[in-house]
Structure 1
Amino acid sequence: MEILIISALSIGVLHAMAPDHWLPFVVLGKAQQWNGWKTTRVVSLAGLGHVGSSVLITLLGLALGAALEHVNGWEELRGNYASLLLIGFGLAYAAWGVYHWKQHTHEHTEHHHHVHDGNKAAVVSYWTLFALIVFGPCEPLIPLLFASVGYGWMAVVSIFLVFGVVTIAMMLLQVHLALLGLSMVRFHFLKDASHIVAGAVIALTGLAIRILGI
């Protein structure tokens, strides 16, 4: 059991280092000027949903008597769709960023309408990213959960907690460190195009995940 705990700890750290676990939060949070508390809340909830969804799939597989390779197949399918959806979301957000940028050329009398649209888009993008992270697979957790079943359900819960806490902690650490680093650099020339850049980075992240199979 100790080996499983250590494996959950180390694999959780490595798993959370994948760019799709933190980079989208960095660029979206920077573009929408999230404060520290909102960033922590969003990342934590998304991380919990990300790990929890794989636990539910594992439990479903066990209840149906599915073999490990079948459950891993389900997760691989989720991964294929998740990367495509992340690319699509990034492109859509970049397109909205172009629209948002063009709004700055309008007259001041249209300011209220512009702010209303911006707030609405921020809410939509927030929940879309949250859903994509939750939908994304957590493949390394599946074998650990299957292996822990033989030790009883408390072992399954322990593996979930260790992997989940480590994953969320790593996501938070990377996001806040990246935002801290960005706060020390001034990109005044990119200020009006921050949403375009954010969308492009998110799309490229999804593309990298798909190509590299991370």
Structure 2
Amino acid sequence: MTPSDLQQPVLLSLLGVGFATAFLHAALPTHWLPFVLVGRGQRWTLPQVLGAVAASGLAHIATTAVVGGLIVAAGLVMDRWVSGVLPWVSAGLLILFGAFYLGRAVLRAPIMAGGPSLALSEPTVSHAAAFWGLVVMMAVSPGEVLLPIYLSQATEGPLVLAALTLAFAAGTVLGMTLFTVLARAGWSVLRLERWARYEGVVLGLALILIGLLVLLRPH
């Protein structure tokens, strides 16, 4: 199936959900705080920091797409053996991930109560080592919260999955860039960490809702 086979509103809704989910996921401190700290430690300019953010975000989505492709392939094979099971599996994973993020956001203790020190110091590694360290850090941790969305669209064809990957990339890079810029502009790191608590609630509820929509969609 190609994007033209889907109704345009359905495709736009799918891409919007993918973009919003990736953007919310990028609000997690692991997606912007290292760039703030490393950038200050290396005394990088804003363009240097944002270059690392963009490269790392794209690497993050690239590995997510590879893992997602493998999951989709496995899901399609499984669906041939057990007819109709794929939507139930993807919906179940979405709901489980949503419950996990929601529960963690509600139950976890405040993070970094004192806030990390952002004092400037002399760079301890080369700029290239710092840059590639950030890229590798994001590349080896695919966005697990995005994987069930790939699985939920497994039967829609490679072009739809490619469009979804582009939406993930746009949301991730934009979110990482926004929160990194806000932190560098003087926003309290502690305040952003507090907002990350609500991000977990919103993301959890959104994933549960998507899972329910997958279950209710005619198959």
Question: What residue is the counterpart of 1:79 in the other structure?
Answer: 94
Question: What residue is the counterpart of 1:15 in the other structure?
Answer: 17
CA contact (8 A) 1:78 1:136 kept: yes
> Quick one: structure 1 residues 42 and 159, their matched pair in 2 at CA, closer, same or farther if it must change by over 3 Å?
same
SS of the residue 1:3 aligns to = helix
> Quick one: structure 1 residues 27 and 66, their matched pair in 2 at CA, closer, same or farther if it must change by over 3 Å?
same
Paired with 1:203 and 1:2, the residues of 2 have a C-alpha distance of 31
CA contact (8 A) 2:98 2:203 kept: yes
* 1:200 and 2:212 correspond: no
1:6-155 matches, cutoff 5 A: 10=12, 13-18=15-20, 20-28=21-29, 29-32=31-34, 33=36, 35-64=49-78, 65-66=80-81, 69-87=84-102, 90=105, 95-98=110-113, 101=114, 130-133=142-145, 135-138=147-150, 141-145=153-157
Greater Cα offset, 33-42 or 78-87:
33-42
SS of the residue 1:96 aligns to = coil
CA contact (8 A) 1:87 1:207 kept: yes
Paired with 1:185 and 1:140, the residues of 2 have a C-alpha distance of 39
CA contact (8 A) 2:27 2:196 kept: no
CA contact (8 A) 1:86 1:132 kept: no
CA contact (8 A) 1:89 1:203 kept: yes
- Identity across matched positions, percent: 8
The count of aligned residue pairs is: 177
Paired with 2:143 and 2:199, the residues of 1 have a C-alpha distance of 14
TM-score after normalising by structure 2: 0.57
> Quick one: structure 1 residues 128 and 208, their matched pair in 2 at CA, closer, same or farther if it must change by over 3 Å?
farther
Name the Cα RMSD after superposition.
Answer: 4.2
CA contact (8 A) 1:25 1:175 kept: yes
CA contact (8 A) 1:31 1:198 kept: no
Paired with 1:168 and 1:183, the residues of 2 have a C-alpha distance of 21
Unaligned runs of 5+ in 2: 38-48, 118-133, 212-219
